[in-house]
Structure 1
Amino acid sequence: MTSGSEVPEHGGLPSSGYSTDSAPAGRRRAYWREALSRTFTDVDIVVPDDVYSGTIRAARLGRLQVVTVECDSLRAVRTPRLIARGTTENLIVRLQGKGVARLEQDAREAYLQAGEIVFYDMTRPHRMDFPERHQTKSVLLPRRLLGLKESDLQRITATPIRTDTALGALVSPFLSRLADAAGSCPPHIGDLLARNAVDLITGLAHERLGREPVAAPGADRVMLLRMRAFIDRHLADPDLTPGVIARAHHISVRYVYKLFQQEDVTVGRWIQRRRLEECRRELARPEAARRTVAAVARRWGFTSAAHFSRVFQAAYGMSPREWRDVGGDGRPGGGYGLSTSRRAGVST
């Protein structure tokens, strides 16, 4: 367990944990609010006034983060303002281990009992209420790992997955055991479990969408995933174009465009989105204070600083310089036990 003097950044260590027991009694509530917010990214946390207790265990499995939380009642809200100033692109798959919960997202409400699973998306507003002491086991994964359209992602949130469905009965105990074992897995086993988890979670998503889960992706989906991985590896290349992608995969440019239609976005927009995401992450880091905005933009393949600033503003509601100057954190500083390094030395 980590000490009460420091809360891990979200993303954190390969395996980490912390507890209110290590914080002074008078500061436990503030410590816990910040701990949860850092674990699941920026959220507003409301906890009771009386003495508060809670523990968190977090472990990294491949590209997944697996988190177990056990704590007293609370409310968590993610607002448009926090989303605009955040860096996460995660989808969360949450198993209600003990107690009950209510989730609001995408104009839907989900009431969860122990053993039930729910999806929610950190890129859109939501609210979760836990009226009593509870335990949750969550998998945090990049949304793009599921290979779903944006419109499909919005359809699967806040709809409980019961254990009386075939996949629900299979995935619920799997997620529970995955969370219990995640911190002790060797890397190669962790990678294998992560791949299995993504396959099962993808199956759950297809079930929510009323589709037959498939054992393996079709040829088009495999090619699309390969192209997306290629794009990620070459984001810094300003000459990355649909033609370059097509030649690297021995297909026509027309076929590249056809496959990206599945994403509800053109290939050019996809490249721009991924570059913006990486620039946003880099500008939120403390060392960004030592780099110009233009240098960060060039590092990720933008050739015009003015164009970069325009598309960044349009995507996130603030300029790159404003984003860098708040250190990627829309909240005022001063939370107990948190390092202030992210907020220090970020002059223009």
Structure 2
Amino acid sequence: MDLVFTTDELEPSKRYAAWQDAICDVYVHVDVNAERRSDYEGFIREARFGTVTMTDVLLSEQRITRRERHIAKLDKDCYYVEFVQRGKVNILQASQTLLSNPRVGAIFSASEAYDLECVGKVRSLYLEIPRKEFAARFSESKLPVAMTIPTGRGLGRIAAEFCATIAAEGSSLDETVRSRLGTELMDVLALALDMGDRDELSEDATAQKSRLRSVKAWIEQHLTDPDLSLETIAKSNGVSLRHLHYLFRLTDMSVSEWITDRRLHRCYDVLTRPELRSLSVTEVAYRFGFSSSSHFSTVFRKKFGHSPSDLRRR
């Protein structure tokens, strides 16, 4: 791939400013902000495969922002597809957050406002895909929007590995072959997005149980979030909402019932710990995601046979 920009040849004190100039005003029209600027490191390599542009990017920890003033400078309407090789990137677009990492890719719109939060040092492959040409591969009801792409298995893995292979080997090929590869890459990506749910539901029982354990562990870590939603859980774990419900068929509870049950047990534990008696019942309820103390007391009594206040007095 052709080198577009690198900080390697610059003095450490000048790297971040040079990166800002290269990224903000020349390459992609965004704002970047990094807290640690003294040891900044990054590069951009690029290759074109017909109408598809691929970049291999190294980013130090930073936040990348695109707003209307940046979008006004764009001369094309396209999607971005990201396959993270190392690190993590949180993609914020259209009031949702997509969490991407080496096992979960993402697709989002380049011509709508977004934020990218690079957690740690990130190495990633980006595809710039023309929206109209890519959208022609879907029915109108299935046009892709901002969504994750599981890349640990199935068609998502095939798409990610195909992309990585092209990045490593494709630059030496002639223009005609590269153009065909770009078309075929869009076909594979479209198939992975179109078949996402069906591919997920083909997991064997062992894989489903393993994924369910992983999802439950993630939920446990976020029980205190009052805004925890099924959509957030699904996107953060690289599964569709439909597949999330399907996984919980392995239990005797729905997803929502399981979350409420776990929150109640965590509250029960806090209420019986003498060292936490300074917390009121209402504070305990709010701490674990309940938005109403009366509702909390009702479901608590139904679960344990007595009210939270009775438990604490006993």
**Is the TM-score greater than 0.5?**
yes
Deviation at 1:151, TM superposition (A): 7.5
Q: Quick one: which of 159, 167, 176 aligns to 1:188?
A: 176
Map Cα deviations across residues 278-328 of structure 1 (whole Å, 9 max, x no partner). Answer: xxxxxxxxxxxxxxxxxxxxxxxxxxxxxxxxxxxxxxxxxxxxxxxxxxx
TM-score by length of 2: 0.57
Asked whether the 8 Å contact 2:103–2:152 carries over to 1, the reply is no
Whole-angstrom distance in 1 between the partners of 2:26 and 2:192:
24
Whole-angstrom distance in 2 between the partners of 1:188 and 1:50:
43
Whole-angstrom distance in 2 between the partners of 1:151 and 1:129:
30
Q: Quick one: which of 189, 201, 205 aligns to 2:193?
A: 205
Q: Quick one: which of 41, 46, 49 aligns to 2:28?
A: 41
Whole-angstrom distance in 2 between the partners of 1:86 and 1:131:
27
Tell me which protein shows more strand as a share of its residues: 2
Structure 2 gap segments, 5+ residues each? 200-314
Structure 1 gap segments, 5+ residues each? 1-13, 213-348
Asked whether the 8 Å contact 2:44–2:57 carries over to 1, the reply is yes
What secondary structure does 2:92 align onto? strand
Whole-angstrom distance in 1 between the partners of 2:30 and 2:49:
23
Count of matched residue pairs: 196
Whole-angstrom distance in 2 between the partners of 1:128 and 1:205:
22
Q: Quick one: which of 130, 140, 145 aligns to 1:156?
A: 145
What does residue 109 of structure 1 align with?
A: 97
Q: Quick one: which of 66, 69, 91 aligns to 1:81?
A: 69
Determine what percentage of the aligned residue pairs are the same residue: 20
Asked whether the 8 Å contact 2:46–2:54 carries over to 1, the reply is yes
TM-score by length of 1: 0.51
What does residue 15 of structure 2 align with?
A: 28
Deviation at 1:110, TM superposition (A): 1.0
What does residue 4 of structure 2 align with?
A: 17
State which structure, 1 or 2, has the greater radius of gyration over its C-alpha atoms.
2
The answer to whether structure 1 residue 90 and structure 2 residue 78 are counterparts is yes
Whole-angstrom distance in 1 between the partners of 2:169 and 2:163:
10
Whole-angstrom distance in 2 between the partners of 1:144 and 1:160:
20
Does the C-alpha gap of structure 1 residues 115 and 170 become closer, same or farther in structure 2, counting only changes over 3 Å?
same
Does the C-alpha gap of structure 1 residues 109 and 151 become closer, same or farther in structure 2, counting only changes over 3 Å?
farther
Whole-angstrom distance in 2 between the partners of 1:91 and 1:52:
28
Runs of 4+ that moved beyond 6 A: none
Structure scoring higher RCO (CA < 8 A, sep ≥ 6) equals 1
Asked whether the 8 Å contact 2:80–2:127 carries over to 1, the reply is yes
The answer to whether structure 1 residue 124 and structure 2 residue 108 are counterparts is no
What secondary structure does 2:195 align onto? helix
What does residue 315 of structure 1 align with?
A: none
Deviation at 1:83, TM superposition (A): 1.2
Does the C-alpha gap of structure 1 residues 40 and 128 become closer, same or farther in structure 2, counting only changes over 3 Å?
farther
Asked whether the 8 Å contact 2:109–2:145 carries over to 1, the reply is no
